[in-house]
Amino acid sequence: MKPRAGRVILVIGGASSGKSEHALGLADAVPMIFVATGQGLDEEMAERIRRHRSARGPQWETAEVPVDLVAWFESNQAREGSVVVDCVTLWLSNLLSAGLSEPGAIEQAHALSKVMRSAQARIILVTNELGMGVVPFEAGGRAFRTLAGQVNQIIAREADEVHFVVSGLAVRLK
């Protein structure tokens, strides 16, 4: 495998911490591609997606990829520029909703990390830090929090940089 020309940057933070805005600001090469994992399955989410798309502006190409991130990166390895993936946590939720098991989701995280290493673009992934809040009451919530933490660790290990965002302020951890 040839050396990777691009960089992988993970931006992690809590809900509404400013991590998406920070990630967009790290996109420094054109073309700029926004890979959206969110799905407008209810009116509130559909409105949120419309608002975010409008705020990004016309310079951003948008690819809606709720489940098949690995395949998307395999098909787009040679593309240059900046790619912002928002967000890993929704992607993980979509994988589980599509029937993938937790071990299968871990395999997908490893596959994603591997395929990004050969990409030409600057890749910026946004994810939620779920481990700093209240312990979820339901077992399913606790299991998802643990799985999300494992996936974040897999991606963080492979990333060239990791930025943590709190209240709109970013700290580079790696």
Nearest in space to 36 (alpha carbons), one of 6, 77, 23, 167: 23
The type of residue at 72 is: W
Catalytically active residues, by annotation: 52
